Every structure is written in C-alpha cells, then in structure tokens.
Amino acid sequence: MPIDVLIKDKATGGLVLALLVEDVEPSEVAKAEASWRPVREAAVRSLRSQGLTDAQIAGHLQHAHWDWIAKTPLISLLAFKCVGIKYQDEWQGLALLQSGTKFAGLAPDRGKPLIYVDYLESAPWNLAGFVEQPKYGLIGFRLIEYAVRYSQAEGFFGRVGLLALPQAEEFYENGCRMLRVDEAGEHGMAWFEFTREQAVAFLGGGG
C-alpha cells in the first residue's frame, strides 16, 4: 500500500499530502521518464541558446542525461527496489535502491551491508536548474527517509550509502546530514553514508 508523505508546495509554502509507492512498476517508471524528459530537454535547449557548450551544460545540469527507462531491467532483480513519490497523478521523484550489495565504510559498522541509493531524482519541474519556478520540495528528503527505514527493515540498522553528483553534495551533507567519507568513491564522486547513529538522528531520534 502507498505511504502518505508530506511534500512542500513551493508556490504556497505549505505542505501537501503525497503518496510514496514502495514498488514502482517498470510501466510507471516509463511514464515518469516520458513526462520528465521534455522538461530536461527544454532546459538543455535553453542553455544551448545562451551559448553554453555541451561540456558546460553537463556541468550545469549534471543528471540531464539520465534515462529511467534504461534502468527498468534492474527493477526485477532481487537486490533492487524502485520507490517513487506521486502527487496529482504525476511522479514527483524516483529512487532506485540496492539492498546488501554495498558495504559501510565508517565505524562502528565498517564492512557491514547497507542500502545503497543507486539513483535518486526529483522531477525536473521541481529543480531550479531546470525551471524558473520549481513546483514541489522535500522530494529527495522523503526518498532518503524511506531508504533509512528500508535499511532498518532489512536489518541494516538504518545504514545507507550513496555516491553524490557534485551538484547534490550540499543536499546530502547539509540537508540530510549524511557523513562524507574522506576518500572519493567511484567515478570521482564523493561517498556519503549514514551510520546507525546518524540514521536515528535523521529520523528525529525515533528510529
């Protein structure tokens, strides 16, 4: 059953009730991609019209090339789960999670399994880099919140890890208070992690 979550309506500043879906079907992922792609492409065209090169655009919109349809074959694999947030019959965000395939790098649980956030994206109409007036906020926060609770349910005590695009580092470090591991991870991206203690703190102390 979908889970009620609160997201922020940026036009009013108020909170609205959305639905978090725990197992998003490939057909729904395709619908999300179909609605998100034109917004991404429009943002890229706008930057090109301003004279930016493809390399500069890639630095400005670091996940504009993502294609969720290409990720759908993973959803059927046992270790993977796709979760999403829906509001007003539109997908506002998706996250692809892996269970037990990656391991903690921080004490006291170094080497123990965690939930790995493989991909996380808020709909482009919610992001200032893609549109002038973003619609909804707290999407990424709610998806990370779910990842922590999923980790607890899997017996990983809230341990969560991920590789962050440079543009997303501030969100994970300051917005979610995840811990940055000193060494860079794959592809030169920084690795962020919740220890079991940080997970409890992130959830407000209630576990």
For residue 179, tell me if it sits in a domain: yes
Burial of 82 (0-12, 13-18, 19+ CB in 10 A): buried
How far is the C-alpha of 41 from the C-alpha of 122, rounded, in Å? 15
pTM: 0.93
Give, as one character, the DSSP assignment of residue 19: E
For residue 34, tell me if it sits in a domain: yes
- At 83, list the tokens: 């979760």
Ranges 56-65, 102-111, 117-126, 195-204: which has the least confidence: 56-65
The tens digit of pLDDT for each residue in 6-51 reads 999 999 999 999 999 999 999 999 999 999 999 999 998 988 888 8
How far is the C-alpha of 78 from the C-alpha of 155, rounded, in Å? 16
CATH number, domain containing residue 98: 3.40.630.30
How far is the C-alpha of 174 from the C-alpha of 196, rounded, in Å? 18
* Cα 189 to Cα 86, 162, 192, distances in angstroms: 29, 9, 10
For residue 107, tell me if it sits in a domain: yes
The reported pLDDT for the residue numbered 207 is 45
The reported pLDDT for the residue numbered 189 is 87
For residue 94, tell me if it sits in a domain: yes
Domain that holds residue 128: 3-202
For residue 207, tell me if it sits in a domain: no
The tens digit of pLDDT for each residue in 174-199 reads 999 999 986 556 667 899 999 999 99
Q: Per-residue pLDDT averaged across 73-101, rounded? A: 96
8 Å CB contact between 49 and 133:
no
Give how many domains the chain has, as a whole number.
1
Q: Is the confidence at residue 137, as pLDDT, over 70?
A: yes
